Amino acid sequence: MTAYPKNITFSKIQYISQGDTAIEQETNINNALQAGADWIQLRWKQGTEDEVLALARRIKQHCLQHSATLIINDYLHIAKTIDAAGVHLGLTDTDIQEARHVLGPHKIIGGTANNISDIQQRITENCDYIGLGPLRFTATKNNLSPILGLTGYQDIVYHLKNNGQNYPPIYAIGGITLDDIVPLQDIGIYGIALSSLITVHPHYIQELKNKLQWIH
């Protein structure tokens, strides 16, 4: 498996932010940081671009205080403006090559995938990591892609390994519970991206790290 080295360590646990308002977003992110989160993906669909920019500037300072990585969801130019660690892009968002041109070779660019075809696309695009999901239904995201289930992850990882294919770190996402962590790790998934679980129970971050020894 290709290491895809950057100057930033790839955490095993990503917190994808939640909150309808900027205050809710900032509160939830701070709670996660204080509980030990070291990788934040700022995702705020309800704000305008100017509002997301203002929030991103504040969140970057919080992340710096906690030595945490900050990734911006969707907003490529906000990631560029505040000098975030990188950006996460959906399948219908900005082209990965354009993002690489805008951000430069040393920034992290993550991409969403739902099936093996998407994975192959992301590998070709040279994404630094892939968010693969959803594992099961989640109300966190509108227009949810088809549910994978543990069998779906198993089939995809088997296909990649059976073909001797190099691929970046794959994160499971979408409706993940504590009971899913060990099976996902056994399948060969690199890490997990959590939203609601950490928003409601930020203390689970340390429990996950300690239980699975996913401390990098």
Q: Which residues are annotated binding-site positions?
A: 41-45, 73-74, 93, 112, 138-141, 175
Return binding residues for Mg(2+). Answer: 74, 93
Angle between helices 116-124 and 149-162 (to 10 degrees): 50
CB distance 106 to 84 below 8 Å: no
CB distance 12 to 185 below 8 Å: no
CA dihedral 112, 1, 192, 86 (to 10 degrees): -50
What are φ and ψ of residue 79, in 5° steps? -60, -40
Residue environment code for 35-54, b if the CB has 16+ CB neighbours within 10 A, otherwise e: bbbbbbbbbbeebeeeebbe
Residues 6+ apart with CB under 8 A from 34: 66, 202
